[in-house]
Amino acid sequence: MKYLVKNKISWLFYLLFWILILRVPSELPIYTHDSSSEALLEYFFENNYLGGRDFVQNVGPLGFLSYPDIFNKSIFWPKLLLLTFITSSIALVFLNFKRDFLDGYYAYLFLFFCVILTNWDSLLYLYFFVLGLYIFFSIYSNKEPDFKTLLLSLLSVFILALAKSFYFYLGLGYLVLTLLSNTSLRNKILLCTITTLLLFQGLKVLNFTIKDFFSLLNAQVYFTEMYVSNLNTFPLGLNSYIGLVLIVGITLQILRLINKTMGIRSVVIALYLLFVSLVCYQHSTIRADVHITALLDLCIGSSLIFLGYKRKNNAKI
């Protein structure tokens, strides 16, 4: 009985957390550059223009998922369902991560911080970061990560990979990490097979060839060149400098994870986390508006995680 009550409470907590981070479209169609670009991505999808094939942007065939708002009624339910799936995976990963590896008031502060994140990109970058740390801490504490959590997170990551090409690279990195995790060989084979099959099936449904996909990745590489360094977010044009301080800070936090006991695995995970941070840095300094908040949010989130990490057995992290 006690178990059932506890279980119910945790499910209720999960439901509440998921509702709090869920993005149901709230923006109304207005005449602004951002909203019209977002509406255009839905228009393109509806009219079979696919990112990377028919138009070149930093988004993929499911580019409309890069924004939580919905403008077009024909896309309303599919988009809401995909967003629901992604946010429920995020909620599951964050809560399992908190349960297994975080402790004290910093753990609750971290969850509270995730709830009040207003920028959708910030939530996603933090998600990729937490996924890396989830694998790291599970290896470090000699725990087997929950298979359902791994599977759901991989699926959500590969849906995101079709939304933005940077997420594709991050998704590949995460797939490598799951192969390094403490889960059994059978589970690893299952994870790889299911996600690869679903990814290829998804591309087939979208009528998107592998060649198109590589052209998308190629375009993204060139897109990273697109910076203007218009530095008006911070006074005196300090965006890049502040960004530099933040990236150095988070790098120091990540480098601390490299340790002898975990050997090469800790290096790979640290490289993945650095990659997430660099992608987030690039995203944050590409424009001088709300973009910078992604890196600020990632740094606040990572600090709360490291402060809230359960320190057992003389752990030095």
Partner 1 sequence: MLKFNKIFLGLTISFAFIAGYGGLSSSLILTEARVLNTFNFFINHREYILDRQNRFKETQYDVRKILRNSIPANVRDLGYFGFSPYPIVYGNFNFKALPVFTSFAASTPYLSEINSRAYWKLPDYLLVNYVTIDDRYIYQDDPFQQVYIAQNFEFLKNTDYGTLLIRRKTPLNLEKLSVDEGEAKCKSICTIPLDENKSMLIKFRFGEARFSGLFIHPYWTMVVTYADLTEHAYKFSPTSARIGLLVNVLSSSTMYPAFLRAGDKKISAIQLECRPLISCPRDFSYRMERLIWK
Q: Which region among 71-79, 186-194, 197-205, 260-268 touches partner 1 (by CB under 8 A)?
A: 71-79
- Angle value at C-alpha 129, between 128 and 135, nearest 5 degrees: 95
> Phi/psi class of residue 313: alpha, beta or left (left: φ > 0; alpha: ψ in -120 to 50)?
left
With CB under 8 A as the contact rule, which of the stretches 172-180, 183-191, 242-250, 266-274 interacts with partner 1?
242-250
CB of 263 to partner 1, least distance (A): 21
Interface with partner 1 in residues 90-109 (CB under 8 A): none
Of 162, 147, 279, 288, give the one whose Cα is nearest residue 230. Answer: 288
Taking the least distance from each CB to partner 1, the nearer of 123 and 170 is 123
Using the minimum distance from each CB to partner 1, give the nearer residue, 198 or 288: 288
Which position among 241, 263, 267, 310 is part of the footprint of partner 1 (CB under 8 A)? Answer: 241
- Which residue, 133 or 150, has its beta carbon nearer to partner 1? 133
∠271-210-62 over CA atoms, to 5°? 75
Q: Is 201 in the site for partner 1 (CB under 8 A)?
A: no
Binding of partner 1 by 227 (CB under 8 A): yes
Q: How far apart are CA 304 and CA 79, in angstroms?
A: 31
Beta carbon nearer to partner 1, 73 or 260: 73
Q: In the complex, what is the shortest distance from the CB of residue 181 to partner 1, in angstroms, rounded to a whole number?
A: 24
Strand ranges for the chain from DSSP E: none
Distance separating alpha carbons of residues 229 and 287, to the nearest angstrom:
7
Cβ proximity to partner 1, 74 vs 184, nearer residue: 74
Closest separation between CB of residue 62 and partner 1, Å?
A: 18
- Closest among 308, 307, 306 to 257, alpha carbons compared: 306
Q: Chain-centre distance of CA 219, in angstroms?
A: 21
Residue with tokens 């990560």: 145
Residues 249-278 that bind partner 1 (CB under 8 A): 249, 252-253, 256
* 147-161 vs 76-101: helix crossing angle, rounded to 10: 140
Q: Which of 3, 4, 33, 205 binds partner 1 (CB under 8 A)?
A: 33
CB of 94 to partner 1, least distance (A): 16
- Is the Cβ of residue 5 or residue 235 nearer to partner 1 in the bound state? 235
20 near partner 1 (CB under 8 A): yes
Torsion angle of C-alpha atoms 19, 25, 27, 30, degrees rounded to 10: 180
Among 29, 48, 148, 204, binds partner 1 (CB under 8 A): 29
Pick between residue 89 and residue 122 the one whose CB is nearest to partner 1.
122
Q: Which of residues 130-169 bind partner 1 (CB under 8 A)?
A: none
Q: Which is nearer to partner 1, 77 or 200 (CB)?
A: 77
CB of 184 to partner 1, least distance (A): 33
H-only helix segments in 59-146: 76-101, 104-116, 120-140
Q: How many residues bind partner 1 (CB under 8 A)?
A: 74
For residue 109, which of 309, 316, 313 has the smallest C-alpha distance? 309
209 in contact with partner 1 (CB under 8 A): no
The closest of 141, 71, 59, 158 to 101, measured between CA atoms, is: 141
12 touches partner 1 by CB under 8 A: no
Rounded Cα distance between 227 and 286, Å, is: 5
